[in-house]
Structure 1
Amino acid sequence: MDREYAQPLDVEALARGVHMSAGHLSREFRAAYGESPYSYLMTRRIERAMALLRRGDLSVTEVCFEVGCSSLGTFSTRFTELVGMSPSAYRREAADATEGIPSCLSKQVTRPRR
């Protein structure tokens, strides 16, 4: 999921790959990571969206589709829940917040908190 975050989530296929039922995989995943597979995937997508928005060369809509979301409304709602501000507001503030911070540290500094 970390590497292929832009692909649709198929819990059934993941479960088959590790020889579990989808329900069992979801329970084990939640026990290991503290969230459902879908929630984990959305967090990865939002983290990538944050990086793309900081870069500043794509519109919010382009970022939404680039990270694998098919609905701008769902993307914006989830982004706001995790980051605490809309994608547009984040784009405006992100340039100032990460100025002078090496890119290897900016991801850690800007990581969404639950």
Structure 2
Amino acid sequence: MSLPPRSPSPALLLRLLRARDRMDAASEEAWPVQRLAALCGLTEAYFARAFKAAFGLPPHRYLLSRRIERACALLRDTEMNVTEIALQTGWESLGTFGRTFRDITGSHPAAVREQLRRETPVQALAGMPLCHLMAAHRPDLLSAVSEKRRQAAAATNEASDTDSDKELT
């Protein structure tokens, strides 16, 4: 098959929306590309390219954003502990959840809980449509988590190189 067009056809977009809706409805489940592609009746590579062309994110990053978005809502609205939230949002490891959450949001789950509760008391959100609320708290995943880690490490290395240069002069 050839590369998907820039603007997916209505039939292809309908298939992709079906896969995205399934991920939205059950983001805590495992959604490997093979499963999503089979759901759409496409090859894995074609599905991955078409999904990114249609929605601006690869399927895995889209799923991560939904899981983190759901975790933020649970942190804000419930008294569940972080381990329960990690398991309920589809993470198998608390360590992986914490590291990914910090990489995406910039803070640890407990700090985000405090920040969200200070900024948005639950009473103020009572009349707001859920779709708007979720969109406002959707994490930005335009770059891969591993890419963000490399950029942070490079910035740290540059800072230490600058400090050692100052010591030499």
Is this a same-fold pair by TM over 0.5? yes
How do residues 33-112 of structure 1 correspond to structure 2 at under 5 angstroms? 33-99=55-121, 100-103=123-126, 104=128, 106-112=133-139
Segments of structure 2 that go 5 or more residues without pairing to the other structure are 1-22, 142-169
SS of residue paired to 1:101: helix
Q: Percent identity?
A: 35
Q: Which runs of 4+ in 1 moved over 4 A?
A: none
Flag the structure with more relative contact order, 1 or 2, with Cα contacts below 8 A and sequence separation at least 6. 1
Q: Report if the CA contact (8 A) 2:66-2:138 is conserved.
A: no
* Residues matched between the structures, number: 114
Q: Which has the higher helix share?
A: 2
Work out which of the two has the higher radius of gyration on C-alpha atoms and give 1 or 2. Answer: 2
Report deviation, 1:106.
4.1
Looking at structure 2, the residues matched to 27 and 43 of structure 1 have their Cα atoms a distance apart, in angstroms, of 18
| CA RMSD, Structure 1 to Structure 2 (Å) | 1.7
Q: Which runs of 5+ in 1 are unaligned?
A: none
Matched residue SS, 2:124: coil
| TM-score, normalised with respect to structure 1 | 0.88
